Structures are given as C-alpha cells and as structure tokens.
Amino acid sequence: MHVTPQQQAEIDALRAERAETRRATVPALEDVLYQPFPVLDHGFVRVVDYMGDDAAIVQAARVSYGRGTKRSRDDQGLINYLMRNAHTSPFEMCEIKLHVKLPIFVARQWIRHRTASVNEYSARYSILDREFYVPSESQLAIQSSANAQGRGEAGVGEQLSLAPGAAAPRGARRRAAEQARRAEAKGMQESLTEDAERSFDQYDSLHAAGLARELARIGLPLSAYTQWYWKTDLHNLLHFLALRIDEHAQWEIREYARVILDLVDHWVPLTAKAFRSHRLGGARLSEEGLEAVKRLLNGEDVDPAALGMSPREWRELRATLGLPED
C-alpha cells in the first residue's frame, strides 16, 4: 500500500478544501494537488504546494507589470529561447513542494542535489513502517561490464547464454533455461525479502525492549522506505530531471524522475515542451565535437585523436549523430 487509510483520509480532506486567491493557479495541477502517484512497490510522489506558472517565467523575463497581450505562441518562443541559451533566472521564479516516499538508497542519491529545502521523516522521533523495496524480476540484472556503478542489460541467469560462440537455446533447452533464470531471480528476491524482514524483526524487538529509537534504527536496510518534503525552484528541478531521467541514472530514481516530469507537464506545459526539446532531446557539443561535425558535413575524414577528442567522446558523438560504430 502506498498510503495508509489515515493518510488517504487526510488527502481527501485536503482535496475537498477550496480557497479563494488572487495569485496565478494552474487548473491541470490543481486537479492532481495532494494526490499521490505511485512509484516502485511502496513509494509515491505528490504535489503539496506550488508557486508560479509559464506566465510567471515570461513575466520575469520581460520584467513587465502584467501578462500583457502576447500570445501563447510568443510565450513558447521566449521560453524556448531562455531554455536554449541557459538563461536560468526566470525559471527560478517558479517553485514546487513535493511529498516523496522513497527507499533510503534512492534518497541518498537524491540528496546529492543540494539545491532544495528538505525535511525528512525522523526515525529518532517516530517508528518506521515495515516497508522495504524489493526489485521486480525484470530489474534483477547482472553487473555492467562497461559501467562500474550500474547494472547491465542482461537479467540474472541470462549471462549463461551470452558466452561468446554459445548457440541460443531452443525448444526444451530454452524453456529449461527460462525456468532456471526465473528460479534464480525468485531466490534473490526471497533472499532480499528475508534479510529485510530480519532487520525489521530486530528493529521491533529492540524498540519493544526500550532501546532508544535513534539506536534501534541503525540496523535497518537501505531498502527501507523514508519520506520527505522536498521544495525547489523550477530551474533546479529541471536540472535534477535532466540528470536523473537519463538512461545512465539508476532505474529506481529514474522512475521517480519520470513521474515528476509528468507533473511538470501539468504545471508548466510550455516549459516542459522546451525542456524535452532542448535538454532531453538536444545535444551539447564541445569545441572539438563541433569541429568534427563541421568536417563530417564537408565530407572530410575525421581523426578524433588529432582533434583532441577522447575515444568516449567520439563514440558518444557518433551515437548522437546516428552514425555506425567505427
């Protein structure tokens, strides 16, 4: 369960309230205000407050007294210009406050973004719920051979069929291999679950014996769930999303970034469109990379080493341009 019945009752009460205001509001975001959006097995993200909209960004950029007579087409053009040329201060005029429930190991990655105000659930003051994250079978992958801090594409057990020169299993062999893979994945899930259950059993027994909460908590696993309120401005939120929705980020935090980006679509649709186009769908080139592109367009051979490009930058540039590997 992502929220308890008591929490749901509180959310329903908040969503039933109405307040008159003169400040700008966004109907699409108002429709989902306070509503929890599930992430992973027990987590969620919900908007609890916000300030500003696309018009506030445009207004700040123009430093005008009102919304003016500009059309939305003109606003989109200006926001595109701001995004494209990294004029960030107008985006700082908008802020959002999120309530997030997430595994502790995801929180430790998230907190590295030191551009927000954060208040986290205190296990010194309150008792943690017995909730912990267990990866689904599809996310149980082997260690990547190319990325020292991430998982590979192959699932648990699949690496046995990836040996060089090995023929792909067929028929009964294939079914047997699939059953073995699923059994190995299930065994790992059970092992993770048992370890977490033992940790929470110890936590409960130490708490029942009277040990201070701040000490009883220290044996809990990184898979345990925590919660926090996280408030940031739109510029820093977009920077967070650009890094954490990237395919190189850990899958679990990418799932949170995906849900938050959908909320940004509700909140500031013109900015979200510019962000997807210029930050997520665009590319940044170094001076050497730009020179390589110019030479490729002129039909010249390119020696990346002579240009001072590393092998990795050259591979990434070729992938960005949709060119085949060397």
Distance CA 33, CA 148 (A): 39
Please report the pLDDT score of residue 186 as a whole number.
Answer: 86
Please report the pLDDT score of residue 17 as a whole number.
Answer: 85
Please report the pLDDT score of residue 323 as a whole number.
Answer: 86
Of residues 232, 231, 234, 230, the one with CA closest to residue 56: 234
Please report the pLDDT score of residue 65 as a whole number.
Answer: 56
Distance of CA 4 to the CA centre of its chain: 24
Catalytic residues: 244
**Are 108 and 306 within 8 A, CB to CB?**
no
The DSSP output letter for 218 is G
Please report the pLDDT score of residue 160 as a whole number.
Answer: 45
pLDDT single digits (tens) 24-70: 899 999 999 999 999 999 999 999 999 999 999 999 998 865 555 55
Please report the pLDDT score of residue 161 as a whole number.
Answer: 47
**Are 226 and 104 within 8 A, CB to CB?**
yes
**Mean pLDDT across the chain, nearest whole number?**
87
> Which segments in the chain show pLDDT lower than 70?
1, 64-73, 142, 144-170
Please report the pLDDT score of residue 140 as a whole number.
Answer: 80
- The domains located in the chain, with CATH, are 5-130+223-280 (3.30.1360.170), 142-217 (no CATH), 287-320 (no CATH)
Distance CA 243, CA 253 (A): 10
pLDDT single digits (tens) 122-161: 888 888 899 999 998 888 876 766 666 666 665 665 554 4
Please report the pLDDT score of residue 171 as a whole number.
Answer: 74
**Are 168 and 160 within 8 A, CB to CB?**
no
Geometric angle at alpha carbon 129, from 105 and 110, rounded to 5°? 25
